Amino acid sequence: MTIIFNYLFTQIGDGFITRVPIRIQRGALLKKGINLDALNLNGIDLHQWVGKSLEVDIQEGIHTINGLAD
């Protein structure tokens, strides 16, 4: 499924907060409301995804991001 970045994240200053429970590329589960930083993002630069469509699987309310949509 394709979902726009802004549905999943809220941008704050130079960072982001999760709007729904998220798992990024099989990483740790990030609960809703988590302030994201370099440590819990495992080196992924979310700034590159702002405004783009993401390929996402949803199971049991958890949005797993597989990467950018084609």
Per-residue pLDDT of 11-64, as tens digits, reads 998 789 999 999 998 888 999 999 997 777 878 889 899 999 999 999 999 999
Number of domains in the chain: 1
Confidence at residue 53, expressed as pLDDT on a 0 to 100 scale: 97
Range of the domain at 35: 2-68
Residue type, 40: N
Estimate the share of the chain in helix, then strand, then coil, as percent rounded to the nearest 5.
10, 45, 45
Asked if the model's pLDDT at residue 9 lies above 80, the reply is yes
Asked if the model's pLDDT at residue 66 lies above 90, the reply is yes
Its pTM stands at 0.86
State the Cα–Cα distance between residues 2 and 63, nearest whole angstrom.
Answer: 11
